[in-house]
Amino acid sequence: MDTQTLKTLSKYLSLHLRHQPDAIGLTLEPGGWVAIEELLVASATHSNLPVPLTRDRLETIVATSDKQRFAMSPDGTRIRANQGHSVPIDLQLTPQAPPEILYHGTAERALVAIQAEGLKKMARHHVHLSANPDTAKAVGSRHGRPVIFQVAAATMHRDGFRFYCSTNGVWLVEHVPVEYLNTMEEKP
């Protein structure tokens, strides 16, 4: 499967497994799961994809996604987005103690608002954090010049904030108040 087709199908999955399952007649089960057969039927009925979504193509997307956005159930009958949902869903994640420091990358245009209000989940269920600054930088670079924040995650955890780690290693928290943030300076 060529790169552009892979990207198109991945975006289609993100849209319908994270934000608009009802647009193609899907209902997410607890944990965000949907039966693969239901997804395939729904996509055949409600899409104008350049190629049909097939089980083989789904498996390729899940296996090759650089960010591991999707997961298949151990028995191979269901699929879900690992995080990033804007629809109400309980991902059935267990709270975990985070590392000492986590990172958040964003576009430079958000710097002033974040310095005033902290990191907010916006339309999603959680703020997304990464365990390394390079990943945060890549995320922040998607929308212009990146700004990287260090998050005092262990201190937040000790202060009562709940952290979760999704299957693909993305750390999740409801909100990061300003007092737990430090802006990382970019080295020339």
- Selected from 3.20.20.105, 3.40.50.10860, 1.10.10.970, 1.10.10.10, the CATH number assigned to the domain covering 3-81 reads 1.10.10.970
Note whether 36 and 79 are within 8 A (CB). yes
Low-confidence ranges of the chain (pLDDT < 70): 123, 185-188
With CA atoms as reference, report the closest residue to 147 among 119, 126, 173, 170.
119
SS3 106: strand
Residue 79: what pLDDT?
95
Residues 73-125 have pLDDT tens digits of 989 999 998 877 777 777 778 899 999 999 999 988 989 999 999 999 886 77
Class level of CATH domain 102-184: alpha beta
- Give the pLDDT score at 175: 95
Alpha carbons within 13 angstroms on the beta-carbon side of residue 164 total 19
The DSSP element (H or E) to which 42 belongs, if any, is helix 36-45
> Is residue 174 within 8 Å of residue 126, measured between CB atoms?
yes
pLDDT of residue 82: 80
The pLDDT, as a whole number, for residue 90 is 73
How wide is the angle at C-alpha 11 spanned by C-alphas 42 and 72, nearest 5°?
65
Q: What is the pLDDT of residue 48?
A: 81
Stretch(es) of the chain classified as CATH 3.20.170.30: 102-184
Residue ranges of the chain assigned to CATH 1.10.10.970: 3-81
